[in-house]
Amino acid sequence: MSPNYIRSFSEGCLRPPTVIGQFHTLFFGSIRMFFLGVLGFAVYGNEALHFSCDPDKREVNLFCYNQFRPITPQVFWALQLVIVLVPGAFFHLYAACKSIKQEDILQKSSYTGFYIFSVFLRIVLEVVAFWLQIQLFGFKVSAIYMCDVGALEKKFNITRCMVPEHFEKTIFLIAMYTFTVITVILCVAEIFEISCRRLGFLKTQ
C-alpha cells in the first residue's frame, strides 16, 4: 500500500464525513480509551493480588479468582474497543484503496450505503458487547464472593472471598455501560444526520 493510501486511510479514520462521526471519533478515541487505559488500570490493576479467600491460601485464592473473573474487565473492554473499530476501519480502507474522498462519501448512494452499513454494524457490536458485559460482570460488584471450591476437594465446598475495592469497581462498571450507551446513541444520530443530508435538510460538508 502506497503512502497516499495510508494517508487517506488515517485521515478517513480521524475525520469521518459527518459532524457526529467526527465527535464520535473524538469521544471514542480520547475520553473512552483514556478512561479505560488510565483509570481502568488503577482500579483493576492489582485486583488478583488483593483477592483473598478463607482459608487465605494461594491455591484457593487463585482458583476462586479465576472463577470470579473468567476474563478480566480490562481485557474484555480492550477487545470491545478493537472489535467496534473494525467496521469503520474496513470502510476507510476500502475508501482509501478506491481513492474516495471524504466529501464524496455522502454524494454517491453506493458509498453512503456502505458507510451506513459500517455504522449499523458498529451499533450491533456495541449492543452485543453490552449484553456480554451484563452476563460477565452484572451491574454491581459485591464485597463478598461465594466461591465453589469443590473441585479442590476441600472440606467445605463453598468459601467466602473478599473482593477488593468493590465500590470503585461498581462505579467503573456503570461508567463503561454509560460509555457504550453514549456511543450507540452517537451512531444512531450519525445515521440520522446522513439521512438528513441525503434528503437535503442539512448542507453537505
Rama region for 101: left / alpha / beta (φ>0; ψ in -120 to 50; rest): beta
| Residue 121: per-residue pLDDT | 93
**Integer Cα distance of 180 and 198 in angstroms:** 27
| Cell, residue 44 | 483493576
Domains of the chain by start residue, with CATH = 20-204 (1.20.1440.80)
Query: What's the whole-number average pLDDT of the chain?
Result: 81
pLDDT score recorded for residue 205: 47
Q: Which of 37-41, 53-57, 89-93, 102-106 has the lowest mean pLDDT?
A: 102-106
Q: Which three cell numbers stand for residue 26?
A: 473524538
- In this prediction the pTM is 0.82
Residue that wins the pLDDT comparison between 123 and 199: 123
Per-residue pLDDT tens over the stretch 88-134: 888 777 777 777 777 777 787 887 888 889 899 999 999 999 999 99
Q: Are 146 and 160 in contact (CB under 8 A)?
A: yes
pLDDT at 8: 59
Q: Is 108 helix (H, G, I), strand (E, B) or coil?
A: coil
Enter the C-alpha cell of residue 20. 457526529
pLDDT, greater one: 13 or 106: 106
- 184 vs 198, which has greater pLDDT? 184
155 or 167, higher pLDDT: 167
